[in-house]
Amino acid sequence: MLFKVSMTVRLPHDMPQARADELTAVERAVAQELQRSGKWRHLWRVAGRYANVSIFDVSGADELHALLTALPLFPYMDVDVEALCRHPSSIHDDDR
């Protein structure tokens, strides 16, 4: 199943910079591994914000929930999820 996931990160203003840097580095490694596995199919930054729009390709909502809640920055995220399906007018066969 494909899901569009919008994530906005809101780190506490009083979080020490070293902790923020550590969380960000671990988050990057996890996100890149999920991309390599094909589960995190697309990742776009939202210009001017600490936010992204992503496409996940997972077995269902339970798997997506497990992946999102395991992200190191998840406790500091506002997350919005939408399930996607093919549009009958799409000219692409592979949903990419």
pLDDT over threshold 70, residue 96: no
Distance, in Å, from the CA atom of 80 to the CA atom of 25, rounded to the nearest integer, reads: 23
Distance, in Å, from the CA atom of 15 to the CA atom of 27, rounded to the nearest integer, reads: 16
Handedness of CA 29, 35, 40, 45 (dihedral sign): positive
- The total of other beta-carbon atoms located within 10 Å of residue 55's CB is 16
Domains assigned to the chain: 2-84 (3.30.70.1060)
User: Looking at this protein, which amino acid is placed at residue 95?
Assistant: D
Q: What is the pLDDT of residues 54-76, one digit of tens each?
A: 999 999 999 999 999 999 999 99
Mean pLDDT, the chain, rounded, equals 95
- The total of other beta-carbon atoms located within 10 Å of residue 54's CB is 18
Question: 95 pLDDT band (50/70/90 cuts)?
Answer: low
Q: Quick check: pTM over 0.85?
A: yes
Q: What is the pLDDT of residues 22-34, one digit of tens each?
A: 999 999 999 999 9
pLDDT over threshold 80, residue 80: yes
